[in-house]
């Protein structure tokens, strides 16, 4: 690949054009890569599609593959180390993503059946070729038969199968293809024979539907599920002459939700089974299904870390070596004296020891690792085959994570009190301010990245400060002032001592400023620091001087500065997309 061509697969998802409606991907990296390839040179796009099909033929669903390998096989371009994600992709999800990639690239430009040699099938013609149903064709697609979206001679874009793709699939899935091709539709006489056999079994024996289906399947050679469907369909069409008169109709989502709510309220399973005319096992399956759906819909966010994927991560994180004396979880063995004038409830908060740097890091690492494990297990849930031990393990991990989170919050509640006391005097009472600050503290625990080396108290102070800036009129005015001039970075730095409850010293002040500036690029950080004089050892510089030093124009320096200021405002806002961590 030439350098000019390689640029179109550079890892810069922000420059991808939304020329097509992208499909859903299981992996974010694959979704970003699809956007890049769909916006690339048209003369290369067909090659990307063919490369994706070759990958589909290679990938095994039970293995994992490094993203760099997929990137190289699709583009033929080997980027510098660190330019693309270094994650691992599961084969099962990767197969679906590659098929979505083929469709998205096909939809991004005009690709016709005439562009390929040989015969090209659409779904109906392929079904006629093998004398199968179109549903079987769709099933083959889900099993891995590569397909494209091409423009046929009639001018319409449809799902298409190359003759070579069909040949590869039939050669490598001979058993499935043979079973599908040999399947014949059930005739009317055969269907009547099944109904006659089922009615006779029910008349002379007390058989259940599943037992009847298995017995007739052994005698007729049909699948038991086919027999069960035939009997159920007959009973639905002949309500006055049913074979299984007591057979209940399938439960809908509303009935399942009602069963689950009743189960949570403590109503015994036998009573629910009798009420809804189901077996106990069926009630338990419905309860587990609803538990699984709640877990799948529940957001589980965590700060990822490379050490979570280590083979001995459990031992490393859960069984850390004991610390030496003087390096305890709390920063001091001395009980802190509460400020005068606090109610007894608030004074009790000062009985909880503060967290030391290492103890705080261990708790945050454990908290995020527990949620990471829960999320990994949740991704393996099969809603059609829910297993109770799997659900119980996920729920236990989440409960343990909440216990750790509660410990972190209790150790930092006095931080909220100290900040809230400085805002008393407005419309809100002290307890209202503390309640409001506690919410910010809880959200800060969710977003804090312990691996960056900063203390949580610094980040939490900023989170609470920004919340009060919206809720307290005086602070809201100050927030509006921040957004008006170029001196806002200086105002932010100067206001740190106002909001810090422990009277930050200069080292802590510099650390707090570094937390914010670390979110900027190197050029943005240089311009903001030198122009506003944030570094005491370097004199304040004009935009013109900075332009000469950086080799860019004065106007470009001004544009970068405005961009950096906007990014800082977004970072400072706890509700923004970029969070200060």
pLDDT (tens digit, 9 = 90+) per residue, 304-318?
Answer: 888 888 888 888 888
The percent of residues above 70 in pLDDT, for the chain, comes to 77
- Strand duo 148-151 + 157-162: pairing: antiparallel
Query: Tell me: the pLDDT tens digits for 387-417?
Result: 888 888 998 898 889 889 988 988 888 888 8
Structure-block tokens of residue 126: 């392929």
Domain ranges of the chain: 3-109, 114-182, 188-237, 253-297
- Return the pLDDT at 577: 37
Whole-number Å distance between alpha carbons of 89 and 217: 41
User: Which of these ranges, 69-78, 159-168, 391-400, 476-485, has the smallest mean pLDDT?
Assistant: 476-485
pLDDT band at 49 (very low <50, low <70, confident <90, very high): very high
- Return the pLDDT at 545: 86
Whole-number Å distance between alpha carbons of 449 and 455: 10
Whole-number Å distance between alpha carbons of 154 and 114: 12
Residue with the larger pLDDT of the pair 488 and 466? 466
149-153, 180-184, 471-475 — most confident range: 149-153
The percent of residues above 90 in pLDDT, for the chain, comes to 13
Provide the H-helix boundaries in 353-387: 357-378
Contacts within 8 Å (CB) and 24+ apart, 57-65: 57/146, 57/168, 59/91, 59/94, 59/95, 59/98, 60/91, 61/91, 61/92, 61/95, 62/91, 62/92, 63/91, 64/88, 64/89, 64/90, 64/91, 65/89, 65/91, 65/94
429-438, 447-456, 503-512 — most confident range: 447-456
Residue with the larger pLDDT of the pair 416 and 569? 416
pLDDT band at 248 (very low <50, low <70, confident <90, very high): low
Q: Quote the mean pLDDT of the chain.
A: 78
Given a contact cutoff of 8 angstroms between Cβ atoms, the answer to whether 113 and 120 are in contact is yes
The yes-or-no verdict on residue 486 having pLDDT over 70 is no
- Return the pLDDT at 22: 65
Name the architecture of domain 114-182: Orthogonal Bundle (1.10)
Whole-number Å distance between alpha carbons of 158 and 107: 10
- Return the pLDDT at 9: 40
Ramachandran assignment for 131, one of left (phi > 0), alpha (psi -120 to 50 degrees), beta (any other): left
Exposed/middle/buried for residue 463 (C-beta within 10 Å: 0-12, 13-18, 19+): buried
Q: Compute how many other C-beta atoms are within 10 angstroms of the C-beta atom of residue 255.
A: 14
Query: Tell me: the pLDDT tens digits for 9-43?
Result: 433 333 333 444 567 788 888 888 888 898 888 88
pLDDT band at 370 (very low <50, low <70, confident <90, very high): very high
pTM value is 0.44
């Amino acid at each position: 690949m030439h350098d000019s061509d390689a640029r179109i697969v550079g890892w810069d998802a922000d420059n991808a054009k939304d020329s097509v409606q992208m499909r859903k991907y299981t992996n974010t990296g694959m979704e970003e890569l699809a956007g890049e390839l769909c916006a690339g040179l048209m003369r290369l796009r067909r090659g990307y599609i063919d490369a994706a099909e070759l990958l589909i033929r290679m990938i095994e669903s039970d293995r994992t593959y490094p993203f760099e390998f997929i990137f190289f096989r699709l583009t033929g371009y080997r980027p510098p180390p660190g330019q693309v994600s270094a994650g691992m992709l599961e084969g099962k999800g990767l197969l679906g993503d590659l098929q979505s990639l083929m469709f998205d690239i096909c939809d991004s430009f005009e690709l016709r059946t005439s562009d390929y040699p040989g015969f090209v099938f659409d779904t109906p013609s392929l079904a006629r070729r093998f004398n199968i149903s179109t549903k079987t064709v769709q099933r083959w697609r889900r099993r891995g038969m590569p397909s494209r979206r091409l423009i046929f001679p009639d001018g319409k874009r449809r799902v298409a199968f190359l003759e070579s793709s069909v040949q590869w699939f039939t050669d490598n899935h001979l058993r499935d293809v043979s079973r599908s091709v040999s399947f014949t539709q059930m005739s009317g006489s055969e269907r009547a024979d099944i109904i006659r056999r089922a009615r006779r079994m029910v008349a002379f024996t007390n058989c259940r539907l599943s037992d009847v289906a298995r017995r007739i399947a052994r005698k007729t050679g049909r699948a038991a599920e086919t027999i069960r469907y035939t009997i159920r369909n007959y009973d639905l069409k002949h309500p006055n002459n049913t074979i299984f008169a007591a057979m209940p109709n399938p439960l809908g989502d509303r009935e399942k939700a009602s069963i689950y709510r009743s189960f949570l309220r403590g109503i015994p399973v036998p009573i629910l089974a009798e009420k809804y005319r189901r077996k106990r096992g069926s009630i338990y399956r419905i309860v587990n299904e609803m538990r699984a759906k709640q877990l799948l819909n529940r957001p589980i966010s965590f700060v990822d870390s490379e050490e979570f994927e280590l083979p001995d991560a459990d031992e490393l994180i859960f069984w850390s070596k004991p610390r030496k004396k003087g390096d305890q979880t709390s920063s001091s063995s001395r009980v802190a004296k509460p400020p005068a004038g606090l109610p007894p409830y608030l004074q009790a908060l000062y009985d909880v020891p503060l967290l030391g740097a290492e103890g705080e890091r261990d708790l945050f690492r454990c908290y995020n690792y527990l949620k990471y494990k829960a999320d990994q297990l949740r991704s393996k849930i099969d809603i059609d085959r829910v297993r109770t031990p799997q659900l119980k393990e996920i729920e236990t991990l989440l409960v343990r994570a909440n216990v750790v989170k509660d410990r972190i919050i209790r150790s930092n509640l006095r931080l909220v009190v100290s900040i809230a006391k400085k805002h008393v005097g407005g419309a809100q009472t002290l307890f209202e301010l503390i309640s409001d600050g506690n919410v910010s503290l809880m959200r800060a625990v969710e977003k804090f990245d312990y691996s960056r080396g900063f203390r949580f108290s610094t980040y939490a102070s900023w989170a609470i400060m920004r919340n009060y800036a919206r809720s307290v009129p005086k602070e809201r005015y100050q927030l509006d002032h921040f957004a008006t001039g170029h001196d806002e970075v200086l105002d932010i730095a100067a206001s740190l001592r106002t909001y810090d409850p422990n009277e930050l010293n200069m080292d802590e002040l510099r650390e707090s400023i570094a937390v914010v500036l670390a979110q900027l690029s190197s050029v943005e950080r240089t311009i903001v620091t030198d122009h506003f004089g944030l570094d005491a050892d370097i004199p304040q510089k004009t935009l013109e001087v900075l332009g000469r030093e950086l080799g860019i124009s004065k106007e470009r320096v001004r544009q970068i500065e405005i961009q950096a200021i906007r990014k800082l405002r977004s970072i400072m806002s706890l509700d923004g997309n970029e969070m200060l961590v």
